[in-house]
Each structure stands twice: as structure tokens, then as C-alpha cells.
Structure 1
């Protein structure tokens, strides 16, 4: 007979497969194909591993990786809100919290509580780990859009000031990566792929 906890964990694993179908607006590097949430989360985990030396504060890298791997699972129910959407707030945490409780609630109670706590910590963006994880989350699409000749910025007419405002969260986790990002934004304006 299968243990009850194992059954719940397998059900969770099946449920989160749906994240592979959540399409983001941002396209893959040098591509016209939209990224999905699973690809995004995997990429952030590797970025965190590679770039962790640039964190301003001491971080628990394993915790950062957990955060970036689970932070968008809530979009299975809540959907992906485009960061530059002018009609819907990107920080729709009430809707996402409901999703987090349902999806993570599939797990055994102790694991569910841990995942909800990690997800909430990421959303709050206060701990050193959350700040760095959120830096990765903002840096990746910046790199993608610069590789795609403006990508979603051009497609949706997003201006420099708006991009700058959204991307400055990078500086909360890494001043060095923020300096790099600022330079990319300036270069993007010079190249005409981002307009003021």
C-alpha cells in the first residue's frame, strides 16, 4: 500500500507539470518562441548558481534556488501577468496566494507549509535570499529582450522609464548586477531597441 504522504507528493508532481504550459510574453534568447514558466524557473535557478558571488549579502543559495523554482507555480491557477501590463497589477498576490494554498496544499502538511513560506518570502522580497532571487527574476527578461532586438519592449511599446522602474529591483540583491543592467538599458536606448 502506498503511503499517504507519497501519494500526495506524486499528485503534486503531476499538478505542477501544468507550469510547462504557462506561456510568458518574453521570448527565448535570440528566438521568436515564447518562453514557458518551467523554462524560466529552470533558467533562474542556474543563473542564481552562476551569479551568486554577486549577491550583496551572504545568501543561502539552496534557498534561493528553491524560491526561483517555485515562485511561478501559482501561475498554474492565476495565470502569468505581464510585468508591463497597464490594466492588471503584476503584484497580484491575493489571487496568487489563493493559488499557492491550493497547489502547495496538495503536498503533505509540513511540505505545504514550507513551500508557502518560501513563496511568501520571495513575494515579500525582504530577506537576502528573496532580494537576490528577485534580482534573477528581473535580470533574465532584460537579457532576453536585449538579445531579441527589444523583444517585448518593442512589441508592446514599453518605454525606457517603465523598464527602468521595473528592473531597479535588481539593485536590492546585487549592486554589481544592477550596474550591469543599467549599462544594458543605456546601450539599448543608444541602439534604438528601447525608446525614451
Structure 2
């Protein structure tokens, strides 16, 4: 499935999904804006990632990815090297990919140079649909995830790197077989896991090493 990536001008001009069947004007203005945002983020289910699913032969979408990360936070929080607020970390992983509704998914092993610019413009557009206080709060969560400035953000980022690693393992390589990707490239892109959890990074390295031995990725050395 192709994803329309909107530039800053088209973002400003584009309509939202709720415009296709507007909500009754009698609904409270704040609630109406919140519900329109809920409808708009249904687009997340259409954004395909590169990672293959383990259960069926297709790629996952961003909504599935975000749900999986949230569950991983709940299950794996004990492996964080620093104490974390699980609820706050769940918020971070649920919000972090919403901007891809407008910016599109940027594969981990791509050489894209405009990702930050695209995602900043998308964040301005998307979170701006909410009432001001919630727009500020969700944008702050997205910025926190991007900056990795807190233990929660570092753990959230670790989950974002660990989840596709597991899916690629189940696919016997998956995106590790992309042109130009070697086992060392995989290690370098996944090393951020170690900023949050030494035990999870040790397990991740075992998967990468074993995948390399089995020929699922190009030799790294």
C-alpha cells in the first residue's frame, strides 16, 4: 500500500476524515474536537511498516505496532535499568508514531534525510486538531520520545527497536535481508536498546548474532 506523504503546504490545506461525515454541531465543542481527533487517528491503521508479522504473511501496520509496544512495556518494564513509570511509558509508545499518519513510515534501514522535517510538520498539523491543553500534552509526549531525555523515553525507544527485531527473527531475517544491510548495520541501529536495558540488549545481540550465523543477514565482519 502506498502512503501519501503530505508536505507542509498540503498539510495545512488537507481535510480531516470527520469532514466526510461531520459530527452533529450540537456536540460540545471540546468533545467534538476530541472525537474528530479519534476519527483522524484511524488513519494509523492504514500506514504499513516494513516489518513482517509473525502470525500471517503480511506486513504490520502502525496501529498494530503501537499496540504491541504498549503491551511490551507492561510485560518487560522490570528489565529497565532505571525505574520507570509504566503508565507514562505506555503513553509515549502510543503517541510516538501518530505523526506517520501524515509523514509516512520511514524504514529503519533507509537513508532518508528529511524524516525530522516531515514529522515535525505532521506533528504540528495532527496535534493541532486537539483542544489546546491536550495538543500541548500530546506534543510534549512526542517530543519526549524523540529526545530520549527521560528513563521512560529511553525504554519506550528500546521497545520500538526490540519489537521489529523479534519480528525479523520470526521471519528468518525479514528486513535484515534488505540491500546494503549487514549484521553490523543491524547492531548499530539496534544499539539504542542498551541505553535502557542491558539485559534486553544482551538478548537482542544474541538474536542478531544467531541470525548472522544462520545466514539471515549479510556478514558484519
Please give the TM-score of this superposition, normalised by the length of structure 1. Answer: 0.95
Q: How far 1:30 moved relative to its partner?
A: 4.9
**Cα deviation 1:13-38 (Å, max 9, x = unaligned):** 01000000000011111542000000
Indicate the residue corresponding to 1:49 in structure 2.
74
Indicate the residue corresponding to 1:183 in structure 2.
206
**Cα deviation 1:28-76 (Å, max 9, x = unaligned):** 1154200000000000000010000001111111111011011011001
1:36 aligns with 2:61: yes
Residues in 1 aligned to 2:143 and 2:170: alpha-carbon distance in whole angstroms: 31
Q: Which moved more, 1:29-38 or 1:61-70?
A: 29-38
Residues in 1 aligned to 2:186 and 2:57: alpha-carbon distance in whole angstroms: 20
Query: Per the alignment, in what secondary structure is the counterpart of residue 50 of structure 2?
Result: strand
Q: How far 1:155 moved relative to its partner?
A: 4.2
Give runs of ≥4 in structure 1 deviating > 6 Å: none
Q: How far 1:125 moved relative to its partner?
A: 1.0
Larger Rg, first or second structure (1 or 2)? 2
Match of 1:79 among 104, 117, 120: 104
Specify every segment of 5 or more residues in structure 1 that has no aligned partner in the other structure, as ranges.
none
**Residues paired across the two proteins, number:** 194
Indicate the residue corresponding to 2:186 in structure 1.
163
Specify every segment of 5 or more residues in structure 2 that has no aligned partner in the other structure, as ranges.
1-25
Structure with a larger share of its residues in helix: 1
Match of 1:100 among 123, 126, 129: 123
Residues in 2 aligned to 1:31 and 1:185: alpha-carbon distance in whole angstroms: 22
Query: Per the alignment, in what secondary structure is the counterpart of residue 35 of structure 1?
Result: strand
Q: How far 1:94 moved relative to its partner?
A: 2.4
Query: Per the alignment, in what secondary structure is the counterpart of residue 51 of structure 2?
Result: strand
**Cα deviation 1:100-128 (Å, max 9, x = unaligned):** 11111111110110000000000001210
Residues in 2 aligned to 1:182 and 1:77: alpha-carbon distance in whole angstroms: 33
Residues in 1 aligned to 2:116 and 2:32: alpha-carbon distance in whole angstroms: 29
1:121 aligns with 2:137: no
CA RMSD, 1 decimal: 1.2
Q: How far 1:156 moved relative to its partner?
A: 3.8
Equivalent residues of 1:122, 1:130 under 8 A apart: yes
